[in-house]
Structure formats: structure tokens, C-alpha cells
């Protein structure tokens, strides 16, 4: 599958998710950015779209601001604590299904804001990764101190994460900072387009295809209509 096809599939996955999330009763609204932390993760496919969006932005202000400041902000973030996953969602689903141990992962929203966040707004909102699209709370996190997420939404989110990883199975997953810095050099993006990238260090983890879906028994019936929509995506 070439990059054009993968990007089109990603857009279809986002659209299916928007249809689902549009019916949720949530407290989320514009300028509420408590959930925009330095711990956001994504795939290389999502990172590629963000880097290209910044490079090609017709909004000169955005382009200048991000090109001048983004690199520095991301690089400053390299020395800060952030969530760096050791395992992808598809690998996690496989370990669960096989009854194997899963690694403990350290994650804390107090580690800081997303390095892209500007004046409580996301400058790459149209191409933000799924990890940002799927974060909803029934109560305002700023008042409650934490998010109140419906367990079924978590199940749905995991399945969408699995599909996105699946279509990017030649790529990698990692923290937003690590993925964007990895994809910043032109030659790396060129290699990504031809499915020949190699992970230069341990900051990213290799993606894999779906072998098992991470769906608890209590959600198996309710999620069927969503799986039918996702099933129309041939990969």
C-alpha cells in the first residue's frame, strides 16, 4: 500500500470515529486544553501528515511560527520526561490474548503540556493525531482534576488505535515529540514514503498488524456496528 492509500484510509478511519464521537455527551470544548499533554503518542503515518501540514501550510503565520519555533520546542522537550510507549496497541492486544505479562508503563499528566500547544489552541488541529481526537471526558477535567471517560469509549478508542497501527504496520509508534523529530529530515520522510525507514534509536516501537482485537466481553455486542464500518476498510 502506498502512502496516498494509507493517508486516505486514515481519513476514512477518522471520519468513522467522528460519526461515533459526534453522539457522545461530553464536556469538551474549544480552548479546553488540559488534556494537551506532552504524553500524546501517535504513529509515523499520523506524524507524517502533521509534518507535511506544517511544511506546506498556506497559513504563512503558522508556517513561520512552527518552522522557527517548533524544532526548538520539540528539542527542548527531548530532555523532559514524557510518556514513551514500550509497546504498541496491537502488541498489547496480542499479549492479553495469549495471557502473557504486559509491561508497566509510567505516565503522568503533570509532566507538562504538548510542545505544539499555543495559547490553548492546537496549531495542527485539522491533522491532529487520533490520540488527541479520541480524548473525551464526561466532566470538565479542570474542575474534576482528571478525566471521566466512559469505559465503552476506551474500548472503541483501542480498536481505532489498532486499525491505525495496522495500516501503518511498516512504520513506528511513539511519543509525539519523538515521532515529529524523527520525521523532520527530508530523507527520512522520503524513506517513509517508500516503506524503507529504519528506527535509529529506541525511542520508537515497531508497529504490527492486528492479530487480536482488544475488546472486553461486555462490549462485544455493542461494538459490532462500529466493527462493521471498520471492516469495510480493506488493508
Interface positions with ligand SF4 (CB under 6 A): 27-28, 32, 34-36, 40, 114, 116-117, 122, 124, 128, 132, 135-137, 140-141, 147
CB-nearer residue toward ligand SF4: 53 or 170? 53
CB of residue 95 to ligand SF4, shortest distance in Å: 27
d(CA 171, CA 167) in angstroms, rounded, equals 9
Nearest approach, Cβ of 114 to ligand SF4 (angstroms)?
A: 3
The DSSP code for 6 is H
Strands laid side by side in the 172-175 sheet: 41-43, 172-175, 205-206
**Closest separation in Å from C-beta 209 to ligand SF4:** 26
Q: Which is closer to ligand SF4, CB of 147 or CB of 159? A: 147
List phi, psi (to 5°) of 129. Answer: -70, 165
Q: How far is the CB of 98 from ligand SF4 (least distance, A)?
A: 32
145 contacts 34 by C-beta, under 8 angstroms: no
- Minimum Å distance from CB 127 to ligand SF4? 9
Output 135 or 192, the one with its CB closest to ligand SF4: 135
Closest separation in Å from C-beta 177 to ligand SF4? 10
Q: Give residue for cell 501517535.
A: 42
Place of cell 492509500: 5
CB atoms within 10 A of CB 80: 11
Comparing CB distances to ligand SF4, the nearer of 2 and 148 is: 148
CA–CA separation, 106 and 82 (whole Å): 9
Residue appearing with cell numbers 488527541: 132
Contact 145, 58 (CB under 8 A): no
C-beta closer to ligand SF4: residue 66 or 204: 66
CB 216 within 8 A of CB 93: no
HSE at residue 29, side-chain half, CA atoms within 13 A, is: 4
Complex with ligand SF4: residue 105 or 121, whichever CB lies closer: 121
Amino acid at each position: 500500500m502506498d502512502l496516498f492509500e494509507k493517508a486516505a484510509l486514515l481519513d476514512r478511519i477518522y471520519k468513522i470515529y467522528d460519526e461515533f464521537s459526534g453522539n457522545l455527551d461530553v464536556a469538551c470544548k474549544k480552548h479546553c486544553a488540559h488534556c494537551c499533554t506532552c504524553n500524546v503518542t501517535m504513529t509515523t503515518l499520523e506524524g507524517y501528515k502533521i509534518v507535511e501540514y506544517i511544511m506546506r501550510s498556506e497559513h504563512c503565520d503558522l508556517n513561520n511560527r512552527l518552522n522557527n519555533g517548533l524544532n526548538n520546542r520539540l528539542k527542548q522537550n527531548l530532555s523532559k520526561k514524557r510518556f514513551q510507549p514500550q509497546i504498541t496497541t496491537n502488541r498489547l492486544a496480542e499479549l492479553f490474548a495469549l495471557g502473557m505479562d504486559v509491561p508497566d508503563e509510567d505516565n503522568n499528566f503533570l509532566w507538562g503540556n504538548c510542545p505544539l500547544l499555543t495559547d490553548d489552541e492546537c496549531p495542527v488541529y485539522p491533522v491532529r493525531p487520533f490520540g488527541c481526537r479520541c480524548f473525551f471526558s464526561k466532566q470538565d477535567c479542570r474542575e474534576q482534576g482528571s478525566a471521566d471517560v466512559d469505559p465503552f469509549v476506551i474500548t472503541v478508542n483501542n480498536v481505532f488505535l489498532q486499525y491505525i497501527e495496522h495500516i501503518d504496520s511498516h512504520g513506528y509508534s511513539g511519543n509525539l515529540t519523538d515521532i515529529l523529530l524523527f520525521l523532520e529530515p527530508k530523507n527520512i520522510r522520503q524513506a517513509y514514503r517508500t516503506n524503507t525507514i529504519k528506527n535509529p534509536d529506541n525511542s520508537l516501537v515497531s508497529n504490527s498488524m492486528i492479530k487480536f482485537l482488544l475488546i472486553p466481553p461486555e462490549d462485544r455486542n455493542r461494538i459490532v456496528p462500529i466493527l462493521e464500518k471498520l471492516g469495510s476498510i480493506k488493508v
